[in-house]
Amino acid sequence: MYSMYTFTSLFLIVAFFTESTTAQYESQYVSFKPGYCNVCRDVPGQNINSPTMFRYLSNPSESFRMSGKDWSCGYLQETVQDVNPYSGAAGEGRWCGLAQTFAETSCSCAGPTIASMSENVKDLNPACDLCKGMDLDYVPTVNAGLTANTGVAGNMNCLGLYNAMSQGVLTNNLCGAVTQNAGPVCCNLESIEDVIAIAPQQQQQQQTPQQPTCADATKICQTNNDCCAGLTCKVRLLNGPKSCSSSRTRQRSSIANGGIGGAAGRTRSGN
């Protein structure tokens, strides 16, 4: 028979090891804040603010090259530590996506296994390869929604363009030109530093209200508020649309009895 003392001792030992294991586990995934950007990506389908399963960097000291500079995986996580890809400002989702793409290709992550970001996005035998000679031989998920100038067929969505070219939609004489023009946008990754540099400019543009534009003279309008200062919205031509016209009117004066001949100079009595 075990005494109460024995049960108490066993409970304390189990609690100690459980607490130690939990603390050790927490020290491993504490590199990211739940609800913010996790370079190893959150486990799909769970509450991002209160996750029960974690993916985290297993070796933060691992390093890789980004635009000619050495980055550690731990520093990559620190760079996006306060980035909110779910409900943050415009651009934060892409910022986080870039970091996750670098982490997937260059860093070791532990925790539950999840599908690759690049799963099923690469055509092994494309008829025309948009990404030929680029850093990546496919359009990464983070670039899928970007628009690139093809140089010959206007602007097109990167993923749609990659798939269309892979299926042979473009003729051979256009393939090389489109790859040269659109490939660098669609199949390369921006440096995190470049994204950080332009983020304040984007936020400033969003915070600066755009000045309302007004319609010049002769431009079609609906109300006076549509017209620039000094113009009034009115009908100039019979059955025609309203347009902005000068609101100034010239005072008219009668020419009757002014020594001017014609009908205006005659009296109504007929004399």
Residue 20, pLDDT above cutoff 70:
no
Give the pLDDT mean for 241-253: 64
CB 28 within 8 A of CB 109: no
Mutual orientation of helices 192-207 and 92-106 as an angle, nearest 10°?
Answer: 170
CATH class of residue range 212-245: few secondary structures
pLDDT in tens, 34-61: 899 999 999 999 888 888 888 999 999 9
Band of the pLDDT at 183, cuts 50, 70, 90? very high
Q: Is 212 or 195 the better-scoring residue by pLDDT? A: 195
CB 59 within 8 A of CB 116: no
Give the pLDDT mean for 131-140: 94
Task: Tell me the domain boundaries of the chain.
Answer: 20-110, 118-201, 212-245
Separation between Cα atoms, residue 254 and residue 216, nearest integer Å: 33
Q: How many residues does the chain have?
A: 271
Burial class (CB in 10 A: 0-12, 13-18, 19+), 163: middle
Residue 8, pLDDT above cutoff 90:
no
Contacts 24+ apart (CB under 8 A), 145-154: 146/185, 146/186, 148/181, 148/182, 148/185, 148/186, 149/181, 149/182, 149/185, 150/177, 150/178, 150/181, 150/182, 151/177, 151/178, 151/180, 151/181, 151/182, 152/177, 152/178, 152/181, 153/178
Summary mean pLDDT of the chain: 78
What are the residues whose beta carbons fall under 8 Å from the beta carbon of 206, sequence distance 6 or more?
Answer: 89, 90
